[in-house]
């Protein structure tokens, strides 16, 4: 009996913030109390929006450039491989640096990492734009690598900040909003990039820093971060900190590493199948490109966004619900991707199946985000969420090139591979990720 008990997944949602301003004050009556409640609710909406802007600009800074890659190749006289590095180098640089940003956010403050990261991210975007204007591939690729350094301190740290600011069901809802914002960026960015390119082909490079500036101002003036105690700062010196992270991975590694893997594979598959769909749409007999192609690609991503937000709002602290949704999401992904092996020649069926697969991803990711964020205390949360996001970035970076390699072999092999990966992930999640009852 004791052995069975030790296998249960225990996750505690913790926060250093008092349990809401209204809980810290005596109840107020009459109109004054109603005004205070309305003001607090309004404040929460603005904080949600400020937090959501961080992953949104992260996605815009990368995906908005995808529609102009053919123009980039033509105008700068570079190969398709060289143009792909504009996206891939950014993602790999960010993925490698994210754990460092996570440690710094644990050692100092979340905003102390997010704010300079957004500044570097936006400024390097301007430099990349001038690289495009000057037709200097060297300047462009260096600027994109610097953008990756800035990007490393954005979305992953925002996830940790959500864990600091909110508890329980509110935390899950906020994390669902973060994932939905990430997905919304994926929906909007190809469309925005295509529309801006109608003005001048390099316009997306210069438009992005404007979005970045808006997010920076929102983080500075709207988000109030809980202060760290001197004890927490001392505990996060490098030596003791690494030991603490090692202890966490030793105690919870079985389900935690499985969750990291599931999140990474989900995004690898998502970006891979979108790359596949993007290429198919441009070929005969469809010949769809530009804004029209962006709208078609938005269909499965819209399914992801709606599902992510709804899932985050519903799961609250219920570990049993999380487990069900994780497994249901992976079953949907596995079945729909397996059906696509045989039904990929009909465009309507293909888009429908890929949309269902994206809905499965939308069930999976908010549950993983909530579990991983709530699994550790505030002083180690930055590193744990950063390791998770680093693996997500790597999944995104390697999705398109691996899918291109598989497509050169056969379209059936593409979907045999991804449905097999989904089935493997389902097996690991079913046996190793077992949150039970009410969590926290």
pLDDT tens readout for residues 266-312: 989 988 888 788 778 877 788 887 778 778 888 898 899 899 889 98
Contacts of 253 (CB under 8 A, 6+ apart): none
What is the residue-averaged pLDDT of the chain? 82
pLDDT grade for 123, boundaries at 50, 70 and 90: very high
Which pLDDT score is estimated for 437?
A: 56
Q: What is the pLDDT of residue 404?
A: 79
Q: Beta-carbon neighbour count of residue 41 at 10 Å?
A: 10
pLDDT at position 19 is 39
List helix spans (H) across 25-136.
30-63, 69-76, 80-107, 111-133
Domain boundaries, the chain: 46-223+237-432
Provide the CATH topology of domain 46-223+237-432: Growth Hormone; Chain: A; (1.20.1250)
Per mean pLDDT, which of 137-151, 198-212, 237-251, 269-283 is the most reliable?
A: 137-151
- E strands, 95-224, are none
CB 421 within 8 A of CB 265: yes
pLDDT at 439: 52
Question: Residue 332: pLDDT above 90?
Answer: yes
Query: Is 186's pLDDT higher than 60?
Result: yes
pLDDT reading at 18 higher than 50: no
Query: What does the pLDDT read at residue 329?
Result: 96
Q: Report the alpha-carbon distance of residue 268 to residue 21 in Å, rounded.
A: 40
Distance CA(278)–CA(407), nearest Å, equals 12
Q: Mean pLDDT highest for which of 239-253, 308-322, 341-355, 391-405?
A: 341-355
As given in the structure block, the two tokens for residue 6 are: 């030790």
Q: Has residue 25 got a pLDDT over 90?
A: no
Give yes or no for residue 114 having a pLDDT over 70.
yes
Backbone angles phi, psi at 16, to 5 degrees: -85, -5
Average the pLDDT over 420-435 and give the result: 91
Rounded-to-10 torsion of CA 327, 411, 280, 335: -20
What whole-number distance in Å separates Cα of residue 105 and Cα of residue 233?
11
Three-class DSSP category at 179: helix
Per-residue pLDDT at 145 exceeds 60: yes
């Amino acid at each position: 009996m004791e052995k069975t008990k030790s296998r249960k997944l225990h996750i505690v949602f913790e926060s250093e913030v008092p349990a809401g301003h209204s809980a810290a004050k005596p109840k107020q009556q009459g109109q004054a109390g109603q005004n205070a409640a309305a003001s607090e609710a309004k404040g929460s909406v603005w904080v949600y929006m400020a937090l959501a802007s961080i992953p949104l600009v992260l996605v815009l800074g990368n995906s908005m450039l995808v529609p102009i890659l053919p123009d980039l190749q033509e105008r700068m006289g570079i190969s398709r491989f060289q143009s792909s590095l504009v996206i891939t180098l950014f993602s790999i640089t960010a993925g490698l640096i994210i754990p460092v940003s996570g440690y710094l956010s644990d050692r100092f403050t979340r905003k102390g990492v997010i704010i300079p990261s957004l500044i570097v991210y936006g400024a390097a975007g301007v430099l990349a734009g001038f690289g495009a204007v000057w037709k200097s591939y060297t300047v462009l690729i260096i600027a994109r690598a610097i953008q990756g350094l800035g990007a490393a301190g954005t979305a992953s740290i925002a996830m940790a900040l959500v864990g600091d600011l909110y508890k329980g069901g509110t935390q899950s809802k906020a994390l669902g909003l973060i994932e939905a914002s990430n997905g919304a960026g994926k929906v909007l960015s190809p469309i925005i990039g295509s529309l801006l390119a109608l003005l001048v082909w390099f316009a997306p490079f210069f438009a992005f820093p404007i979005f970045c500036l808006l997010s920076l101002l929102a983080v500075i003036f709207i988000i109030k971060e809980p202060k760290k105690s001197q004890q927490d700062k001392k505990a996060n010196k490098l030596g003791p900190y690494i030991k603490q992270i090692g202890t966490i991975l030793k105690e919870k590694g079985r389900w935690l590493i499985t969750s990291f893997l599931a999140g990474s594979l989900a995004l690898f598959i998502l970006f891979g199948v979108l790359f596949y769909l993007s290429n198919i749409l441009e070929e005969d007999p469809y010949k769809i490109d530009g804004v029209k192609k962006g709208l078609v690609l938005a269909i499965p991503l819209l399914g992801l966004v709606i599902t992510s937000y709804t899932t985050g709002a519903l799961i609250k602290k219920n570990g049993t619900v999380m487990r069900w949704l994780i497994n249901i999401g992976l079953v949907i992904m596995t079945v729909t991707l397996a059906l696509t092996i045989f039904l990929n020649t009909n465009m309507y069926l293909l888009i429908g199946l890929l949309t269902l697969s994206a809905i499965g991803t939308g069930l999976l990711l908010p549950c993983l985000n909530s579990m991983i964020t709530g699994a550790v205390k505030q002083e180690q949360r930055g590193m744990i969420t950063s390791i998770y996001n680093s693996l997500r970035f790597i999944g995104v970076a390697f999705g398109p090139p691996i899918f291109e390699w598989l497509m050169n072999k056969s379209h059936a092999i593409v979907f045999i591979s991804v449905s097999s990966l989904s089935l493997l992930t389902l097996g690991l999640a079913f046996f190793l990720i077992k949150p039970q009852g009410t969590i926290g």
